Chains A and B, each alone.
Chain A
């Protein structure tokens, strides 16, 4: 029978190999799924893994979808490393978009391009405010942050709906639930003409460097991680768990809000009920697949972006529902967690029947 045996120390090889192994298993399951559905698996895999990197334009789209995922996942990585379970990044993303949209709506034809700066700052503020509620309720009242942050996603969604169906509805919009289209000045500057990738990508890459420094080169980052790995040790060392909680939540909220602002003032250009696209939830997977490491999240954000684009292409080319993306994302996280067991344990084949009957200790172990 199979038996897990604790490794003397965590395997460095497996911690890198595990995401790859998980991806391989996900692809195998995906291939089976395509065959069951009567689709050519080769064609389906092509749509998911080749099409998104086939041309410069496709690459630009890939980077554009990866940007919000990367930004949110960076914040979440800090949260999860500090053992703060913020799973409501989606709500913080929405509030970021709402705050940014509120500023962007003020712009007119004569507004300077610099309005992009207050738009992005408003987004960060919006996300931080929403995360601050979670931090406050956890800090003051010990309310579980998992449930509070998740409940606030639904509340944020309703706030957005209220605004676009109510006070912020475009009076000239034929009663559609949407705000006015923001003035041209609010558009997040693009990097190259003809491609939709914008300066958000640069910000995200700078953030990767920033978060790497924070986590691995600052005292604050050290405190956060000790608090996550060994709360008792952190307490003994006098590290404030309250400060860690606030730092982690405000950072991740701010990052999610920034992503929301970049999305609403970038490709969307107005607020609609369709602003929430599930990036906040997908980013949880990005953070984990990226080993909660800033550099790792770059790769996993690109991978998850491929899933998004592949899902859309599978819908138009193969007639499969777009929700396929969610199936693969969930599967990937699930298999990853399973594969991660191999970091701390190795599998041994144990011939159970051959164990001597009188050896009671062996029986108890099994």
Chain B
């Protein structure tokens, strides 16, 4: 029973980092921009966060550094895609490739370094409840922040005027432009916020989730987060649940290995990637369902006056 509680706890932990990145990408995509650079932004943020945590010993500064790194890279992406009208897919790919190289280059000195003893968090009182305590209430604060943020984002998208404008831009930038909204500026803002969230996720990987820096350590989580937005049909709550589901699949491999299941570790490592493919296939099979839910201008450039 206790091992199941730990599996649940690990699932929430792994799900949280996916959730931050996927919610960031959701904000991008709701504004009509696909950023394939998630993996690269997360890698650079992971290095930035790790270096900050290593030098200052403060995890919160590390998250800020991660968010800044992610936001900065996203700004470069936005500059090209939104203001210079480059192809979103190609530019995002460039960001991912650059991020992989740059993080490896900058991070090489941090590979042998260890972070100081990690703080253990628990909610007093609740953490002592048997089973539920170790499953739910001994988590990093960001795990709860992710839940709160998801609810807030849902409210923002569906109940606030600004959220309505964001969605309008994602559906029809031409109409939003005609109504006088600064489409490109709002898109830029969405891209930077999305990048910052990917950055928090990247810093979470290197500071909390694994706590160490290894080249390429994000290991496809940025791409899985991209798949999650489709999987969740661009709904924040579903993104969070999907993130937990994938966190669970990731953790299941370690759990199975621990239980001594007679499968090669390589096949267990494949699980999250195969699960992503399976889920994509299942959700995309119904083309009209996807089309009905997808922001209509996704991936399409908008250049006023052309």
Contact = CB atoms under 8 A, between A and B. Distances in A.
Interface stretch (B4-12, B56-64, B93-101): B93-101
Interface string A282-294: 0011001000000
B175 interface: no
B237 interface: no
Interface string A136-170: 01000111101110111011001101100110000
A11 B157 CA distance: 42
Interface residues of A, number: 47
B296 interface: no
Contact of A334 (B80, B89, B276, B305): B80
Contacts of A162: 264, 266-267
Interface stretch (B113-121, B140-148, B164-172, B281-289): B281-289
A171 interface: no
A337 B86 contact: yes
Contacts of A148: 277, 280
B135 to A, nearest CB: 29
Interface stretch (A55-63, A115-123, A215-223, A325-333): A325-333
Contacts, number: 141
A326 B290 contact: no
Contacts of B290: 142
B101 A327 contact: yes
Contacts of A284: 93, 97
A143 B86 contact: no
Contacts of A155: 270, 273-274
A281 interface: yes
A341 B108 contact: no
Given A151-B273, A334-B80, A161 B266 contact: yes
Nearest to A330: B98
Interface stretch (B125-133, B189-197, B200-208, B220-228): B220-228
B93 A333 contact: yes
A240 interface: no
Contact of B101 (A150, A159, A329, A364): A329
Given A142-B287, A325-B101, A329-B101, A147 B276 contact: yes
B69 interface: no
Interface string B82-107: 01111101110111011111101100
Interface in A1-19: 4, 6
Contacts of B266: 158-159, 161-162, 165-166
A58 to B, nearest CB: 23
Nearest to A321: B108
Given A142-B287, A147-B280, A337-B94, 6 more contacts: A144-B280, A158-B267, A323-B101, A327-B98, A334-B76, A365-B304
Q: Which 6 pairs from chain A and chain B are nearest by CB?
A: A326-B101, A330-B98, A323-B104, A162-B266, A333-B94, A341-B84
Interface of A: 4, 6, 85, 87, 137, 141-144, 146-148, 150-152, 154-155, 158-159, 161-162, 165-166, 281, 284-285, 288, 321, 323-331, 333-334, 337-338, 340-341, 344-345, 364-365
28 contacts: A4-B84, A143-B277, A143-B281, A144-B280, A147-B277, A150-B220, A151-B274, A151-B276, A158-B266, A158-B269, A158-B270, A162-B266, A166-B266, A288-B90, A321-B108, A323-B104, A324-B105, A325-B101, A326-B97, A326-B98, A326-B101, A330-B95, A330-B100, A333-B93, A334-B76, A338-B84, A341-B85, A341-B86
